[in-house]
Structure 1
Amino acid sequence: MEPSLALQKAIRVRLVAATAVTSLVPAANIVDRNGLPAVFPCILIGESQTVPGGDIARARHDVFVDLHIWQKETGLAFSKQVAGAIRDALKDANWTATGLHVADLYVTSSRFLRDPNGIHSHGVISLTANVVEAA
């Protein structure tokens, strides 16, 4: 399996299992979906990229994943609250991802944007993971 897909699935499992996240965003609204969100609030598992790590076996990779937080609000407070819950849900060092050993996963940035329509907030949490394909 492509490392970013395995990691994406593991991230969703972690978010759905975190009551701090699901008390803010229903588990059914944490999805991998294209286009603008249809329901609010939601977390869209967004773009990803896998970069080879350079080991001789080509089994190590750096995986980059974006999570998009959407809510109907004129400010950014809710999106920032969800971002904090996401950080807490992902910081545990023991990860299970099919076919991968996740050596490290961390938030590399959080951005919060006001949608030009004036009624939505949008947060983007960027993650980086160092993974090794499991034998």
Structure 2
Amino acid sequence: MASPSLELQGAIVSRLKASAALTALNKGRVYDAVPDNAVFPYVTVGEGDETSDDVDCVDGFEISLDIDVWSRATGFPEAKAISDEIRKALKTPDLTIPTNALVSFRHRQTRFLRDPDGLTSHAVMTFEAIAEQP
């Protein structure tokens, strides 16, 4: 049986890489592990958690997943533009996952931060999902 959060991550990465509007901004750079020679801007699938939410006859999960945007452009405009395209790409059509049932998926918040290096703008986007295993 496949992990719901792993399936969700795969669906998200596929959707982001297929988004023409996002690719125009980040050249298709979506990573799980960032290569040493990565060019800015890029997107990473960040931290997350999976909490059991079982009820009678249903193995349920509450999933929280961060998607991070990394930019070296001046200020926050590039990070904000990329994060907006990510939100749009994941909003419609509804995501599906291969084995498990994705009951709900939504964008909860985006935080914009200046990294300690003083050069990098960073957007942390948090998404929440409910999934059920068959």
Answer yes or no: same fold by TM over 0.5: yes
Q: What stretches of structure 2 of length at least 5 have no aligned partner?
A: none
In 1: Cα distance, 2:131 partner to 2:37 partner: 30
In 2, Cα distance between the equivalents of 1:76 and 1:82?
10
Structure 2 CA distance, aligned partners of 1:8 and 1:115? 25
Instruction: Say if 1:52 and 1:58, in contact at 8 Å, map to a contact too.
Output: no
Query: What amino acid maps onto 1:19 in structure 2?
Result: A
Gaps of 5+ in 1: none
RMSD: 1.9
Against the structure 1 CA distance between its residues 24 and 34, is the aligned structure 2 distance closer, same or farther, given a 3 Å change threshold?
Answer: closer
Q: Deviation per CA, 1:17-52, whole angstroms, max 9, x where unpaired? A: 11111111122x201116988321110101111111
The residue correspondences of 1:1-135 to structure 2 (distance < 5 A) are: 1-27=2-28, 29-33=29-33, 38-133=38-133, 135=134
Higher deviation after alignment, 95-104 or 70-79: 95-104
Q: How many residues align?
A: 133
Question: Is the contact made by 1:93 and 1:104 (CA closer than 8 Å) also made in structure 2?
Answer: no
AA of the residue aligned to 1:56:
D
Structure 1 residue 93: deviation in Å?
4.8
CA distance in 1, matches of 2:103, 2:16: 19
Counterpart-to-counterpart distance in 2, 1:92 and 1:62: 20
TM-score, normalised on structure 2?
Answer: 0.90
Secondary structure of the 1:11 match is helix
| Change in 2 beyond 3 A, CA 1:36/1:115 | farther
Q: Is the 8 A contact 1:107 1:128 kept in 2?
A: yes
Contact 2:58 2:132 in 1 (8 A): no
Task: Give the SS at the match of 1:128.
Answer: strand
Q: Is the 8 A contact 2:68 2:122 kept in 1?
A: yes
Cα gap change, 1:89 to 1:95, in 2 (>3 Å): same
Deviation of 1:79 (Å): 0.5
Larger mean CA deviation between 121-130 and 45-54 belongs to 45-54
Contact 1:42-1:71 at 8 Å conserved across structures? yes
